[in-house]
Amino acid sequence: MRLSRDDEKAGESLSIENQRNILQRYTEEHGGIVVDEYIDDGWSGTDFERPAVQRLLEDAKQGKIDTIVVKDLSRFGRNYIQVGQYVDYIFPAYGIRFIALSDNVDTAERSSTGMDMMPIMNVFNEWHAANTSKKIRAVLEANWRKGKFTNWAYPYGYKTGQDENRRAIIDEEAAKNVRRIYDLRLQGKSVRTIARTLTDEGIPNPTAYYTRLDGKKSERTGSAQWSPKTVSEILKNETYTGTLIQHRSARFSYKNHTVINIPTEERFVLKNAHTPIIPFNVWERVQQINKAKVRSDKSGTIHCLSGLLICAGCGKKLKFKSSKNSEGIYCCRTYIELGKKYCTSHSISENQIKSIVLQDIHHMLAELKIDERKEREHFFSEKNHLREKTRLLKEKDLQKLKNRLVELDKLIKATFESQVLGSLPQNICRELCENYQEEKRITQSKVSDLEKNLRKEADADDESESYISCLKKYAQCGQMTRELCLLLIDKIIIGNKNKDGTPRQIEIHYKFSKPKSYVFSAAKQTDFFP
């Protein structure tokens, strides 16, 4: 017996109880002995890995049964190749008789009409599954375009609203933990340290919290402790910025249920779909931290300049080395791993480089008090190149889509003309036109989105003011922080430490200005000169 969610729409006639009554009546009338019932409730007929089928096959191999009875072929499966393999080859090999009552299929009567029609019925059953899958996908796409949420639940921090689109509503009790996770990450804490902190404080993880709110016991097993993976998923989820992203993954096909990730450009994205928990600029800064992929020390802290210091000799990142008796130092990774034959140490103490960078930031940002107009001009000169490049790419894509719309109109017209002239069958004409019209609808939607995107230019004045305000905030900072370094610094190239005492070169690359080179004096370790 089998019942999928789609079959439930057919009513009581396909219910498990109705199937059971029919099969029990047949068994009693024909003097059979029921060995066992095999029930797959909520499973698709295209999936032959479902548990009841696997148990049935195991019992068949052990000789526990000699006859399998189903209400109809579709209850056993909707994959015509696999149904045929089982009925024609596997079951006969174990000496098992197969009976599908409604379809008059009985492998004990190979010459019957029902057996002759079985291949056609199997093909029809699979077509039904394919057609149902196509309709479901069409409904889902329509809902995604309207901004209707179709998943079972929002991520931790949100509740599902009761409105038509099931819009996300902030769950403050959970949202405060999400904000704290982002704050700890900005402070340089590793995901492992964050997970340990939340666990030590007795804060329930998302699974335990959801179970408590729902009032039902969760089917998922595991402890209520936070894991680094859970923290990592929260730190990269764009839903917290108010963006609704759907169609992230899908099954390969209606027959192959392997889940595949959907490319980013094919997902359905709706900005400002709900109230954000995390500001977008904070989310972006956290993504920069995540991409850095630097290791934390034994205390779980990521040093503020980790991953930003580059060896001028070999181009590898400098590695932090701590010591119980002295301050930590950064040293060339190639030198540490391969020795001085391949590169020199390029070592510099953490306190020295932090002092150099902090003094330079104070010096650089102090100029804003004198000439903000100059800084705005510099800001725009750095930004405009990227904007212009992005705009040209979007306009190029837009033109390609418009050209395709013209082609589709020609194809639809040509198809109708071919059908009228009698050179194309009506059913093929209908199918082609439906495909062309569907592609046209999708293309028109993409054109609309691109045109809207091009029209919606960000307010440059607001953006520049935000930039100036951010720089001013850090102009008065008293110490280096991981957040400050990631916000302002792209990389710092460390020159070699010369034995003769001559100054070494240090080149600081800021994100919003040209690289600045400094000469660091070994004689006066706190002095550096442009």
pLDDT in tens, 444-472: 888 887 777 766 554 344 445 555 566 66
Q: Are strands 528-529 and 516-520 parallel, antiparallel or unpaired?
A: antiparallel
Separation of alpha carbons 506 and 353, rounded Å = 9
pLDDT at position 299, please? 59
As given in the structure block, the two tokens for residue 437 are 């019209």
Q: Count of CB atoms within 10 A of residue 403's CB? A: 10
pLDDT at position 68, please? 93
pLDDT at 23 over 90: yes
CA angle, residues 163, 168, 169, in degrees to nearest 5: 95
pLDDT at 37 over 90: yes
**138 CB burial (10 A radius; 0-12, 13-18, 19+):** exposed
pLDDT-derived band at 1, boundaries 50, 70, 90:
very high
pTM: 0.53
Could you tell me if 441 and 434 are in contact, meaning their C-beta atoms sit under 8 angstroms apart? no
More confident residue, 453 or 47: 47
Q: What is the DSSP string of 408-467?
A: HHHHHHHHHHHHHTTSS-HHHHHHHHHHHHHHHHHHHHHHHHHHHHHH----HHHHHHHH
Contacts of 6 (CB under 8 A, 6+ apart): 44, 132, 136
Q: Count of CB atoms within 10 A of residue 125's CB? A: 23
Separation of alpha carbons 436 and 345, rounded Å = 64
Poorest-confidence range of 123-132, 208-217, 307-316, 358-367?
A: 208-217
pLDDT at position 176, please? 92
Q: How far is CA 272 from CA 240, 276, 310, 435, in A?
A: 11, 8, 39, 32
pLDDT tens digits, 428-438? 777 888 888 88
As given in the structure block, the two tokens for residue 21 are 């009554």
pLDDT-derived band at 280, boundaries 50, 70, 90:
confident
pLDDT at 258 over 80: no
pLDDT at position 148, please? 83
* β-bridge partners, 169: 159
pLDDT at position 473, please? 62
Average pLDDT over every residue of 141-168: 84
As given in the structure block, the two tokens for residue 67 are 């006859």
- Using the 8-state DSSP alphabet, how is residue 86 labeled? I
- Residue showing tokens 């402070």: 187
Average pLDDT over every residue of 403-431: 79
pLDDT at position 528, please? 42
Contacts of 401 (CB under 8 A, 6+ apart): 443, 446, 447, 450
What's the mean pLDDT when you consider all of the chain? 78
For 264, phi and psi rounded to 5 degrees? -55, -40
pLDDT at position 461, please? 41
In this structure, the chain runs to a length of 530
> Residue 528, SS3?
strand
Q: How far is CA 438 from CA 8, 147, 443, in A?
A: 29, 19, 9
Of 67-76, 249-258, 361-370, which has the strongest mean pLDDT?
Answer: 67-76
pLDDT at 485 over 60: yes
Poorest-confidence range of 20-34, 105-119, 378-392?
A: 378-392
| H, E, C per residue of 463-520 | HHHHHHHHHHHHHCCCCCCHHHHHHHEEEEEECCCCCCCCCEEEEEEECCCCCEEEEE
Terminal Cα distance for the chain, rounded: 81
More confident residue, 319 or 293: 319
Long-range contacts of 335-343 (CB under 8 A, 24+ apart): 335/311, 342/314, 343/311, 343/313, 343/314, 343/316
Separation of alpha carbons 126 and 253, rounded Å = 12
As given in the structure block, the two tokens for residue 250 are 């899908």
